[in-house]
Chains A and B, each alone.
Chain A
């Protein structure tokens, strides 16, 4: 079946540094990729939607200059958390969809801890 690979699975960084998270669709072309964030005991919240070759669409309240999303190819999207702060510590999950009625497939998530 379709597989979405997310890397790294866990990262610890210092406050003020930037972190890049990769999301790859391994056996299908993902025209659209989504980035979610999940705080402890909360539901997943959609951060942004990215379409290959175009600018990402951010949800209300998500800073586009802080969470940089690049979807340069049909199999790769990256999320860069710039100038990370402790409050950015969270679980970030990407998902990808092919086309039509294809269900969304999710990566295994990235646990970000900012110290």
Chain B
């Protein structure tokens, strides 16, 4: 059974820092991996989708990498801002590509 773990569970940093969020999964036979952002009480915003054949994706200050063989993905946020404060969720698609399995998230707080 696929399990997704995110470390750390919470992170507080001052504005301007570069930071890395970690995600690991137990079954490397994944279809794709997706990073989301969730603001308190809100739905999900997709940040980056990495297809299983890719190793990384970039969007603005965000960079996500994928290493299927080791079962790891990282989300790198450059020059963090208070507006980045949210919970970041990592999710992997099952092998059929039909459903997402989520980690518990990393709650990020960026202070000004």
Interface residues of A, Cβ cutoff 8 Å to B: 6, 32, 34, 36, 41-46, 49, 91, 93, 95, 101, 103-109, 111
Instruction: Report if A103-B49 is in contact (Cβ < 8 Å); known contacts: A32-B98, A93-B44.
Output: yes
Q: Apart from A34-B100, A106-B44, what are 4 other A-B pairs with CB-CB below 8 Å?
A: A32-B98, A101-B97, A103-B46, A109-B41
Chain A's nearest CB lies how many Å from the CB of B88? 12
**Cα(A96)–Cα(B103), bound, Å:** 19
Is B43 positioned at the interface, with any CB of A under 8 Å from its CB? Answer: yes
The listed residue with most B CB atoms (<10 A of its CB), out of A42, A43, A105, is A43
Residues of B within 8 A of A36 (CB): 102
Binding site for A on B (CB under 8 A): 4, 32, 34, 36, 41-46, 49, 51, 89, 91, 97-105
Main secondary structure of the interface of B (DSSP, over half): strand
**Closest A residue, CB atoms, query B6:** A43
Q: Could you give 26 example pairs across A and B, Cβ below 8 Å? A: A36-B102, A43-B89, A43-B102, A43-B104, A43-B105, A44-B89, A44-B91, A44-B100, A45-B102, A46-B99, A46-B100, A46-B101, A91-B41, A93-B43, A95-B44, A95-B100, A101-B97, A103-B46, A103-B49, A104-B46, A104-B100, A106-B45, A106-B46, A107-B43, A109-B42, A109-B43
